[in-house]
Amino acid sequence: MHPAYSVIFFTTATGAGYGLLALLGLLAGFGAAPPGLLPGIASFGLAFALIVGGLLSSTGHLGRPERAWRAFSQWRTSWLSREGVASVATFVPAGLLALGWVVFGRTEGWVAASGLLAALGATLTVSSTAMIYASLKPVAQWHSRFTLPAYLLFSATSGLVLLNALMQVFGRPALPWLTASIVFTLASWAWKVATWRHDDDVAMPATLNSATGLAGGTVRSVEWPHTEANYLLKEMGFRVARKHRDRLRGFVIVAAFTLPAMLLLASFWLGGAIAAVLAVLASSSQLAGLLVERWLFFAEAKHTVTLYYGLG
């Protein structure tokens, strides 16, 4: 599949933003919110910036962005529509949470309830984004048990690492979210490797024989349907060379998982201002790695329509 940069940025940015927002909501909901006005402003500001920036960028791949609002009407049958509805609805409890936390300086009562609703909304939004791809049966790499957990896991991981960086910068380090950041980073690493192993072995859900209904013999394409590349080949027939794929996978392992885990461990032992710098570097490295991971998520996917062109 052709990797659209707007969608790559959208899924990575909103994943991190909603992950951070969900964590803030859970902290408020369970009475564990870190004190301080500036940490609250910075945390919500970063979360909203990532979410809004990602949502706006998602319109970049639309032919008629001004008609994007029409997608909201198909929520009964479309995961894309459900994603849009959930993303907008989440702003209501998220706004109330930020208002109570930052303006009124409280995280109990209605603010705590808003936090739990914001966390639920963020989870539903990320899940809907994942299901847009997981529900597509023609793409075997996406239509698997790995897609939905990966989106949720990467969102939680990037949100945790961002939260840890923010708290380190504002002098509010805490062992629970530092430990959770390391654990989730390692879990994401393991899940990504397992996903790649699955994707490398999975077969297309159809063959030329099954597509044509000719069970006997081996059906093959003699000539292409036309002599020039078209939209389907550009969007669905994108291929990445194996040597480039392997290099990019190696970059993802290092930038998104290995280096952040090492930097977070080092920040645990060093502490102070150095720990804050290392935490910010860990978050920056992870987001860069996840951008490449998401590029590979699209580039390595094979759509069954390519069988028509003899590329299956």
Kindly tell me the number of DSSP H helices and DSSP E strands found in the chain. 11, 0
| Confidence (pLDDT) at 237 | 67
| Confidence (pLDDT) at 312 | 60
- pLDDT digits over 202-249, tens only? 877 777 777 777 777 777 777 666 767 776 777 676 778 888 999 999
The residue among 310 and 84 whose pLDDT is bigger is 84
Mean pLDDT, residues 86-101: 95
**What radius of gyration do the chain's Cα atoms show?**
21
Query: pLDDT above 90 covers what percent of the chain?
Result: 58
The residue among 120 and 140 whose pLDDT is bigger is 120
| Confidence (pLDDT) at 216 | 72
CA angle 74, 16, 87 (to 5 degrees): 25
The residue among 2 and 111 whose pLDDT is bigger is 111
| Confidence (pLDDT) at 2 | 76
State how far the Cα of 49 lies from the Cα of 256, in Å rounded to an integer.
21
Q: Euclidean distance between the first and final Cα of the chain, in Å?
A: 13
Mean pLDDT, residues 77-86: 91
- pLDDT digits over 150-166, tens only? 999 999 999 999 999 99
Tell me what the pLDDT averaged over the chain comes to: 88
| Confidence (pLDDT) at 305 | 80
| Confidence (pLDDT) at 173 | 75
Total length of the chain: 312
pLDDT surpasses 90 at 188: yes
Mean pLDDT, residues 106-130: 95
The residue among 71 and 134 whose pLDDT is bigger is 134
State how far the Cα of 88 lies from the Cα of 55, in Å rounded to an integer.
10
Is 0.85 topped by the overall pTM? Answer: yes
Q: What domains are defined for the chain?
A: 5-309 (1.20.1630.10)
| Residue 14 confidence class, pLDDT cut points 50, 70, 90 | very high
CA angle 56, 58, 62 (to 5 degrees): 115
pLDDT surpasses 70 at 40: yes
- pLDDT digits over 248-263, tens only? 999 999 999 999 999 9
> Residues 167-205, buried b or exposed e (16+ Cβ, 10 A)?
bbbbebbeeebbebbbebbeebbebbeebbeebeeeebe
| Confidence (pLDDT) at 72 | 76
DSSP string, 255-312: IIIIHHHHHHHHHHHH-HHHHHHHHHHHHHHHHHHHHHHHHHHHHT--BGGGGGGT--
| Residue 68 confidence class, pLDDT cut points 50, 70, 90 | low
Cα–chain center distance at 253: 16
| Confidence (pLDDT) at 272 | 82
| Confidence (pLDDT) at 250 | 97
| Confidence (pLDDT) at 311 | 65
| Confidence (pLDDT) at 212 | 73
